[in-house]
């Protein structure tokens, strides 16, 4: 009991230390809270409406797997807190595997959700093959669309940064060489003194 209480007190001190670091830590905690809430929403909606999308039965599974993988993603672990080099390498390997899986799963989700765009939201007793629960579909559609927008904006920012770096490099180093006169353009000392004597 005393050991447990001591661990809880140590944990509370760590949380207070993180929160007291300033606005950056508070913002990071706030964003982490929102992100975790959204992943829990994905898992919940996928689980509640598991059998409610006959037009594409993989949509609720997509939400559940994507949400769980994001929640347990090892990206949230700070590698500096791990002392063992073997564990650090294992964590790095696990991060790459998880990232690759999430990327492939995200592409699969795009195909599954966008291929049945605007399914029938009303359950028809005669034809249920085109039905998908509205809440389920809209959550999946919103998550995928928001991620696509985020990835698109990130790609545009990266391209702009690369373009700016290349432009600065060309301006500073390549164009600077054009300003230096060539050896045959520089007048010799004899030419200067000879012109002034006449």
The model's pLDDT over 50-104, given as tens digits with 9 standing for 90+, comes to: 999 999 999 999 999 999 998 888 766 666 777 777 888 888 888 889 989 999 9
Nearest CA among 117, 10, 126, 1 for reference residue 59: 117
Q: Which residue has the higher pLDDT, 31 or 65?
A: 65
* 82: Cβ contacts below 8 Å, ≥ 6 apart: 88, 91
Alpha-carbon separation of residue 130 from 53, 62, 104, 118, 136 (angstroms): 8, 18, 26, 10, 14
The separation between CA 100 and the C-alpha centre of its own chain, rounded to angstroms, equals 12
Q: What's this model's pTM, rounded to 2 decimal places?
A: 0.69
Q: Encode pLDDT of 93-111 as tens digits.
A: 888 899 899 999 999 999 9
Position 31 scores a pLDDT of 80
Residue 73: predicted pLDDT:
80
């Amino acid at each position: 009991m005393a050991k447990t209480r001591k661990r809880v007190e140590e944990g509370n001190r760590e949380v207070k230390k993180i929160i007291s670091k300033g606005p950056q830590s508070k913002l990071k905690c706030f964003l982490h809270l929102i992100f975790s809430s959204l992943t829990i929403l994905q898992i919940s909606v996928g689980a509640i409406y598991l059998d409610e999308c006959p037009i594409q039965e993989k949509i609720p599974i997509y939400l559940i797997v994507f949400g769980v993988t994001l929640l347990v993603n090892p990206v949230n672990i700070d590698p500096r807190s791990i002392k063992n080099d073997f564990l650090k390498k294992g964590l790095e390997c696990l991060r790459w595997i998880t990232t690759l899986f999430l990327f492939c799963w995200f592409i699969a989700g795009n195909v599954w959700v966008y291929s049945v765009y605007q399914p029938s939201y009303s359950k028809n007793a005669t034809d249920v093959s085109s039905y998908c629960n509205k809440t389920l579909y809209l959550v999946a559609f919103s998550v995928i669309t928001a991620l696509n927008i985020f990835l698109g904006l990130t790609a545009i920012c990266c391209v702009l940064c690369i373009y700016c770096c290349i432009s600065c490099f060309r301006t500073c180093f390549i164009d600077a060489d054009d300003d230096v006169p060539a050896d045959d353009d520089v007048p010799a000392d004899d030419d200067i003194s000879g012109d002034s004597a006449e």
